[in-house]
Structure 1
Amino acid sequence: MGEGDGEDEAMGEGDGEDEAMGEGGGEDEAMGEGDGEDEAMGEGDGEDEAMGEGDGEDEAMGEGDGEDEAMGEGGGEDEAMGEGDGEDEAMGEGDGEDEAMGEGDGEDEAMGEGDGEDEAMGEGDGEDEAMGEGDGEDEAMGEGDGEDEAMGEGDGEGEAMGEGDGEDEAMGEGDGEDEAMGEGDGEDEAMGEGDGEDEAMGEGDGEDEAMGEGDGEDEAMGEGDGEDEAMGEGDGEDEAMGEGGGEDEAMGEGDGEDEAMGEGDGEDEAMGDGVDEAMGEGDSEDEAMGDSEDEAMGEGDGEDEAMGDGEDEAMGEGDSEDEAMGEGDGEDEAMGEGTARMRLWERGTARMRLWERGTARMRLWERGTARMRLWERGTARMRLWERGTVRMRLWERGTVRMRLWET
């Protein structure tokens, strides 16, 4: 899905190296349009920008020009989803250092009640905690004691919503560096379970894999083991987001085996209607978003469904036990309306990181159809968009919302 001419570009139009779904010209840009190094889904030109439009270093989903801005529009360093000009502001509008989602002018507090530095919406006493209760530095919405944890329970540095002990893990449970929402132990994994470097939402062990399970280099949303295939339309093996009929297609419409997010009829299709599908609408076993057993993000009635109404559902509306982010009345529900709620949601509706009220949604899906991580019916959408407008990682209709805001 890319038009670039660089090396290792994934779904991008840029000309740099290792760009993922971006249009920039830098190295390691992920889904961005910038020209810096390691930009993730951003349009800037700095290094390590994540989904941002700025030009600083390490900006995350921001539009600023400082270093380490996260989803912000300011010009300081380490701003997170903020519009301020300080350092390490997170989604805030202030001018202090490391404010997260705050409007003040102090240093590093963001929506928190603590007394440390850099707390973000937390009650702890450490430095740089964001919406957490821990005592470490730079924790974001976590309970750990490490540095730079974001919404995590680990003790490493820079973990984001994870339970690991590595550095810069984002929403992961691994112990590597810069993992994003992953469980692996490699470096720079994004939402993956592998152990390679720079994997994005993958389970492999290669380098720079994006949302894949393979072991090659720079695979984008694929499960194969080839190098650098990103969302193609061919019919070979290891195609990512293609429409062919080979094996290991990711997000394609073919009928081979191991298709990811396809509409075919093979085995292990993701978002299809076969068996072991992920994010599909079928009725077999282990489907994701279906109605059988062990479904993930479905609305069925089987066991272990995620986002369904069975047992051990995650993000569902059922009434069994161990539902996560559901609206049922079972035990151990996380982020539900019936009983226990996850750490950062509130009444009104069960919301995952960036859903909207009205229905249970996976990270960036919407009711009506199975969607890839960041797509929506009718058009390809970035990681966390929604119909009608581009939305940041955890926004909601009508207003910009922090990771786990309320109505």
Structure 2
Amino acid sequence: MQIYKVGGAVRDRLLGKPVTDIDWVVVGATTEEMLAKGFRPVGADFPVFLHPKSGEEYALARTERKSGRGYGGFTFHASTEVTLEEDLIRRDLTINAMAEDDQQNLTDPYHGQRDLEARLLRHVSPAFAEDPLRVLRVARFAARYAGLGFTVAPETLELMRQLSESGELEALTAERSWKEISRALMEDQPQVFIEVLRECGALKVLMPEVDALFGVPQPEAHHPEIDTGVHTLSVLEQAAQHKQSLTVRWACLLHDLGKGLTPEEEWPRHIAHEHKGLKLIKAVNERFKAPKDCQELALLVGEYHTHGHRALELKPSTLLELLQSFDVYRRPQRFEEFIAACEMDARGRKGLEQRSYPQADYLRGAANAARTVAVQPLLEKGFKGPELGEAIKRERLKVLKTYKEKA
């Protein structure tokens, strides 16, 4: 039995980056031997075990062959005869196909170290094209390591393009796709993820609503970058630079989808794009089964982001409607995330990345003012049921009028 550290742990140590998760491959062992040593089996598809003390994953060396469509369409074979090199060749990228023994001796049959130095994301073998999930994975790695100068090798991008055109991407489950998308959005440069997907043709398959934004112009006075797709990437970039949450980043990606529906003769204006985009945002949310908080914020930001930008001009009654829509009294965090998404939208414009956003404090102040209205005095006056609701609304409106006059 020989045990090797493999994949990301080896890659990140060589890059000088902190190693968090460690995966291990065991060569020359049987399932029975692993169980006898106290390892706990996980998963039914292939032999993976948890270490009895550390809880880290140990997998028996295995080979695989394509047996169906999609990410799960593979047959695995594990035996004591499978070599380390045979196990490594089934991996996606050369930089993930290296192994180390306990003395840190490197096994690198597919030149991963050379590609690390050349800053290239290159596939290990033609078998790369058998797994459509790898299109998303490579784009995610591109987003993670873009800051170090990594790019996708041209021949790998070509395989990704072939996969995108093959229909295999449609076989991915919503859950697997969302796992990769959500992880990619939380990388340092999530806009690179979208750029790579677009470059290989995967974006128009997975998110045609986002792909449709590229080449759609906006008024230069408000959007010096002009192109709506470029603007969306810039908003996403700002969200990452400001360490925003996944919910905010998802909303930033989808906030302008309605502009993709504007007839060309109306360009560069996009009248009512906020409402037109809601059905598209809903479709993308449902396609990937995004978590409920991501879905809700994306729809609210899509509908109300221009209200956010015009906050200082809004009538008190419109401001109150906005606060009610977000249920700021019971869900203050959601309104904070809305404000953050609006600010990222304002900053995601060429040359305006450092602009101030006074609307943020104004909106927070309005929410705090509305929250000062106490219910108890109204109950003591005898209001109840729908009448109580109307009385609360009147008091909040009164408070917001005063707030606007003083602002």
User: TM tier, shorter chain?
Assistant: under 0.3
Of the two, which has the highest radius of gyration? 2
In terms of fraction of residues, the more helix-rich structure is 2
Q: TM-score, normalised to structure 1's length?
A: 0.25
* Bigger RCO (CA 8 Å, 6+ sep): 2
Q: TM-score, normalised to structure 2's length?
A: 0.25
